[in-house]
Amino acid sequence: MRVASSFLPEDENNIYKKAVFRLMPELEGHELEADFLKKLVCPQCGQESASALVYRLNNNDSWKQLGETFKCCRCRDRDMLNLSMEKGLKEQSQLISERLMNDYFLLPEKLKGSGFKDYHETNPVTTVAKQRAISYVKTFLASEQDRYNLLIQGNPGTGKTHLCVAIARTLKEKGFIVGFLTTGQLLSKIKSTYNKASIITEENIFKDLKKLDLLILDDLGAEASGGNDDWRKSIIFEIVESRSGKPTIYTSNLTDQDLPMVVGERVFSRLYDNTKFIDLFTEDYRKKLRIK
């Protein structure tokens, strides 16, 4: 390695020497020469446009390179651009996740702090339900390919929503984007897009639903209270279709006999695709707790 250090201006040589001492404090006090080589082979692109800091102790003809060869300016700029783009994409993804959670993670006020630990097993049916809900979370975390839908049915007050909140909070804490809202709330969101002043479209909402890692749709069938029944069934079908291939949890107070009449046969048929079931048709969970 040749270095024409004798031709270096004294002040420039001192700058390089200070850099060497700063990077290698153990050389402080030694007499040495230092230089900054250019036109070295860039380790990334192979062009002779890289550089390196070198030094040698006095009375020693062997020049030593300090650290790795610096990449050429073009490669360094490209690396910086890639890092900047990567950071920008991460920040953008984070903002989208936060918006989705704000818009679709709507836990019931009374159950916001509920989890598996405070789900009380009042009988064998609730014991099995809790075990299956925990199993759902474990499978969700273990393998994306093995995830499935869940349909939880049971009488009002049997702990369906409590179990769903426990699932939702557990997966949210693991970093997943979870949506939690009642069917009525989601239909109201969609209906509000029909207002001319709305800046959100129906299409926007369906795109959002596809982005959720998990959607929990509580109280399916309770939204049926007259009005445009055809529109309601059609929209619910679109909601279910938008989640095709992505895990979704549905809860309902209705039996297998009543549910198809309320949501429509097409929706009911889709609910059975890649789905496991939790049956909670038992005594009122809340009443049992009050009796205790």
pLDDT at 117: 95
pLDDT at 70: 65
Determine the average pLDDT of the residues in 223-252: 89
Least confident of 42-46, 126-130, 241-245: 42-46
How do residues 177-193 score in pLDDT, each as one tens digit?
999 999 999 999 999 99
Higher pLDDT residue, 268 or 30?
A: 268
Higher pLDDT residue, 141 or 55?
A: 141
Banded pLDDT at 106 (limits 50, 70, 90) = very high
Task: Report the half-sphere exposure of 49 (CA within 13 A, side-chain side).
Answer: 9
> What does the mean pLDDT of the chain come to?
84
Q: How far apart are CA 53 and CA 56, in angstroms?
A: 11
- Asked whether 109 and 160 are in contact (CB, 8 A), the reply is no
CB under 8 Å to 275, separation ≥6 — which residues? 148, 149, 150, 151
Determine the average pLDDT of the residues in 77-93: 74
How do residues 152-208 score in pLDDT, each as one tens digit?
999 888 899 999 999 999 999 999 999 999 999 999 999 999 998 888 899 999 999
pLDDT at 291: 38
Residue reference for tokens 């002040």: 11
| 3: pLDDT strictly greater than 50 | no
| 285: pLDDT strictly greater than 60 | no
Q: How far apart are CA 252 and CA 231, in angstroms?
A: 20
Radius of gyration (C-alpha) of the chain in whole angstroms: 32
The answer to whether the pTM exceeds 0.75 is no
pLDDT at 35: 77
pLDDT at 181: 97
Domains defined for the chain, CATH in brackets: 5-71 (no CATH), 105-291 (3.40.50.300)
Q: How far apart are CA 114 and CA 128, in angstroms?
A: 18
pLDDT at 250: 98
How do residues 23-73 score in pLDDT, each as one tens digit?
778 888 788 877 777 777 777 777 776 777 777 887 676 777 776 666 666
